[in-house]
Amino acid sequence: MSMPSYPAGRPATPPAAPSPELLVARVRGHARRLVWSAVLLIAVAGATGYLYGGLPAPFEDWMLLAAAGAIVLVGSVVPFVVWLTRTYTITTRRVIAKRGLLARSHTELSHTRGYGIRLRRGVLQRLWGAGTLTLSDGVSAPLVLRNVPDARLVHEVLADQVEMSQIQAHRDSQGFSFGHQLPATQA
C-alpha cells in the first residue's frame, strides 16, 4: 500500500475554530486609598457618640447628626463609590477600562494591535505591591490603569496576552488553503 500524495506537499489541516473571548482578570484600583475614608468614618462615629446629648445651648442634636452625615457622605461614601465603579478587565482579546456610576465611560484596547506597556511604581505603591500601568499603541490616547494591585503580575499577563494574540494573528494571516479535498487512495 502506498502513502497518498498531497498537492502542496503537506496534509491539509482542518480550519481553526475561532477561539472564544475568555476572562483573564478583573481588577479594581488598590483599596489602600480607602484607609483614610475608614479612619474618618470611625472618628466621626466616635465623636458623634461622644457629643450626642451634650452640646452647648445654641446647638441641637439634629445639627450634630446632619453634620456627621454630611462628613461621612463626602469623606467615606463618595470615595468608596468612586473606587467601586472603576474596573479594569483583561480578556484574551482586549483590555477594558470602565468607570462612572450614572454616565459610564468605556475604553478598550485590543491585544492584536499590539501596544507598549509601561509600569510606574511610587514608593507607597511599591510598599503595597501596586503600580500604574500605561498601555500605548501609538495611535490612540494611552490607556492608564491606575493603582493596579499586583502590578508586576498584571504586567506579565498583559505582555503574554499581546504575544499570544500576535502569534495567532500571524498564523491566521499565513493564508493556508483549508478547503481542498484529499485525493482518494488507490488500492
Look at the alpha carbons of 178, 183, 184, 186 in this order and tell me if their dihedral is positive or negative: negative
Instruction: Quick: pLDDT tens for 47-78.
Output: 999 999 888 888 899 999 999 999 999 999 99
* Percentage with pLDDT > 70 across the chain: 83
Residues shown for the chain: 187
Instruction: Quick: pLDDT tens for 9-25.
Output: 555 555 556 678 899 99
* Residue 78 backbone dihedrals phi, psi, to 5 degrees: -65, -50
Q: What is the mean pLDDT of residues 163-176?
A: 78
- pLDDT of 155 > 70? The answer is yes
- pLDDT of 177 > 50? The answer is no
Q: What is the mean pLDDT of residues 79-107?
A: 93
- pLDDT of 178 > 70? The answer is no
What's the CA gap between 23 and 40, in Å, rounded?
36
What's the CA gap between 129 and 131, in Å, rounded?
7
Q: What is the mean pLDDT of residues 37-53?
A: 95
- The pLDDT score that the predictor gives to residue 180 is 46
Biggest alpha carbon–alpha carbon distance for the chain: 111
> Contact at 8 Å (CB) between 128 and 146?
no
